[in-house]
Amino acid sequence: MTTTTSFAARATGVAARASELSKVYGQGETQVVALDRVSVDFGQGEFTAIMGPSGSGKSTLMHCVAGLDSFSSGSVRIGETELSTLKDKQLTKLRRDKIGFIFQAFNLLPTLTALENITLPMDIAGRKPDKQWLEQVISMVGLAGRLTHRPTELSGGQQQRVAVARALASQPEIIFGDEPTGNLDSRSGAEVLGFLRNSVRELGQTVVMVTHDPVAASYADRVIFLADGRIVDEMLQPTADGVLDRMKHFDAKGRTS
């Protein structure tokens, strides 16, 4: 089912907001418009998937909203904080304190145990983890028996569980996932997506995920579709079949244009 109704209007609040966001690479004949005046809200306690054809701008959108990449014009807010006003050190602190990240490459330190990898961002920040919250997160992702293992002693799915736990452990305002199941088999991917879904439902977490996989997108509360740097559609309560049909439509338009 597709709707143009503002999803943010029904959310309890806005965790992140992009307004008239543009990202342009190069100049003159070599200029590429990766994002073209994109405006979108990500509601608190909601799971949003970002999809679109290759080159549509979906990863660029996530990286700009997450403070990982600069933007050419427009506005990005995380909570009440406007990213364009922050200096590098302030932006680093914001990412560390308010944002969790899960990447396709697990990005674990091989010399640290699973538990040490989970608490690393807080250790760097000089903050002690909330013990009760940490235990809840570890239990939810099923790592209680693997905390002393190093990454080489864990399967790919277990390593990504560590990455999910690391993102959740600091109780961030929002978690961004960039193809978080891209390196996993279907079973491990489904487990990781289930943990993200549960973090939204049981912990009130906000999750924004870039994916090319309609099955992964079906775990979200909504899917926003990008094409040519613009948001062109939105789907609430998505199903894998519904997302696949929508993606086929975009692919067909691309072949006939």
Radius of gyration over every alpha carbon of the chain, rounded to an integer in angstroms: 18
Phi, psi of 239 (to 5 degrees): -115, 155
Note the pTM of the prediction, 2 decimals: 0.87
| pLDDT tens over the chain, length 257 residues | 333 333 333 346 999 999 999 999 988 888 899 999 999 999 999 999 999 988 899 999 999 999 999 999 999 999 999 999 999 999 998 998 889 999 888 889 999 999 999 999 888 888 888 899 899 889 888 898 999 999 999 999 999 999 999 999 988 899 999 998 888 888 888 988 998 998 899 888 999 999 999 999 999 999 999 999 999 999 999 999 999 998 887 765 554 33
Q: Which segments of the chain does DSSP mark as H helices, in order? A: 58-65, 88-98, 114-125, 131-140, 156-169, 186-203, 214-217, 240-256
Topology of the domain comprising 8-256? Rossmann fold (3.40.50)
Distance CA 209, CA 193 (A): 10
